[in-house]
Amino acid sequence: MRLVHSPAELQRLASEALVSGTIVGVVPTMGALHEGHLSLVRAARDECDLVIVTVFVNPTQFGPSEDLDKYPRSLEQDAILSEAAGADVVFAPSAADMYPAEFQNYVETGPLAERLCGASRPGHFRGVATVVLKLLNVTRAARAYFGEKDYQQLRVIQQMASDFNLPVEVVPVPTVREADGLAMSSRNRYLSADERKAALVLNQSLDLAAESWARGERGPEALGEGVRGVIESEPLARVDYVEVVDPVTLLPAAEGSTRVLIALAVVIGATRLIDNRLLA
């Protein structure tokens, strides 16, 4: 496996691969890799000739009061895990490489980025879309792999790829969960033992919604209230949002919809976690 730090070097490598007909797949990450990330790498390995994992803690998607400085960084371990999962290249640029002093232009995101996490984290998806566009250009990827746990991010990237006619297929990969149901996240390591136990309420609330859906409940308000009630029963949990939305537009789901996404963000202690469940 090859470790590359320079965007120019990676662009040369990817361009050579493209000329030879090689199918390039990219897995954009912020590092601190876990089984959720590795499932993306394996999916890329199954479908692509050259697999690139990017490891970059992107400063432009963090707000002023967020955890940029303490976000976990473990490049050596990330490279080992990436190689074991099938990566050919790990791309780990510096912030100065990605955003040189003369950098001026950002992706202007639209309505998909304005609700849910976009409302709680102004400017977040502007940073996400900008760095992903840069990574797609540098890697020349034909396929880019994103986890469904970050469902809004997935939809924002899908829309950007469509709007800008990018020659890339954005491939969704199902959420990977711990044995007890907690969605895997790099931020889970921030949780104390008591907080880790309390965090199970996210998946438990979504399980309840899925059971209600299976019994025929189609009212967005009733589904949302059920989820919120479960979460609010946990003293260590504070709801940021619970919303029942259309999975394509991310707008509030209509009464009687046959396909909805329940999306939630919950703060456990000082750690903000997200999760979702698609019901159809």
Active site residue 34: no
Cα–Cα dist 118/150, whole Å = 12
What is the pTM for the complete model shown?
A: 0.96
Cα–Cα dist 195/235, whole Å = 10
Per DSSP, the residues of 1-16 read -EEE--HHHHHHHHHH
Digit-by-digit pLDDT tens for the chain (280 residues) are 999 999 999 999 999 999 999 999 999 999 999 999 999 999 999 999 999 999 999 999 999 889 899 899 999 999 999 999 999 999 999 999 999 999 999 999 999 999 999 999 999 999 999 999 999 999 999 999 999 999 999 999 999 999 999 999 999 999 999 999 999 999 999 999 999 999 999 999 999 999 999 999 999 999 999 999 999 999 999 999 999 999 999 999 999 999 999 999 999 999 999 999 999 9
Cα–Cα dist 120/239, whole Å = 12
CA-nearest of 65, 60, 82 to 135 is 60
